[in-house]
Amino acid sequence: MKDMKCAFVFMFLFAFSFTWKNGIAQANDRKMIIGRWVSVDDRKYVVVFTSTEKREYYDKALSSVYSYSIKNDSLIAKDKSDGDVFYYSIENLSKKYLSLMYLGRGNMLLFRREQTNKNSH
């Protein structure tokens, strides 16, 4: 009986640590994704993530605005104009690069974080 209690406590602590760590990763992803991302394939395509919105620009013109959430390695974006929902897999997220796989078509979207000019006002 004592072995069963030890095994149960071990499994509980393992599951708790995984869930807690996963929650931290999601919070970090949410913070790290905020910024301006320029497409590697088409520099006219820019995506801006704020704390609450994903905004898409093409040739400096705003084309779409989405609310979004991050769950595990998924990004779920809901179009604010018509309610359509888009699902992405976050393949890579670093300080410099973002790669998303659009699950609707399976295509990869590659972005580089736009550097902000600290000297501009």
Q: How many CB atoms lie within 10 A of CB 5?
A: 9
Q: Say yes or no to pLDDT of 45 above 70.
A: yes
Query: b/e map of 43-72 (b: 16 or more CB within 10 Å)?
Result: eebbbbbeeeebbbbeeeeeebebebebee
What integer pLDDT is reported at residue 27 of this predicted model? Answer: 60
pTM reported for the whole predicted model? 0.73
What top-level class would CATH report for the domain 33-113? mainly beta
pLDDT tens-place string over residues 99-109: 999 999 999 99
Please, are residues 8 and 53 in contact by the beta-carbon 8 Å criterion? Answer: no
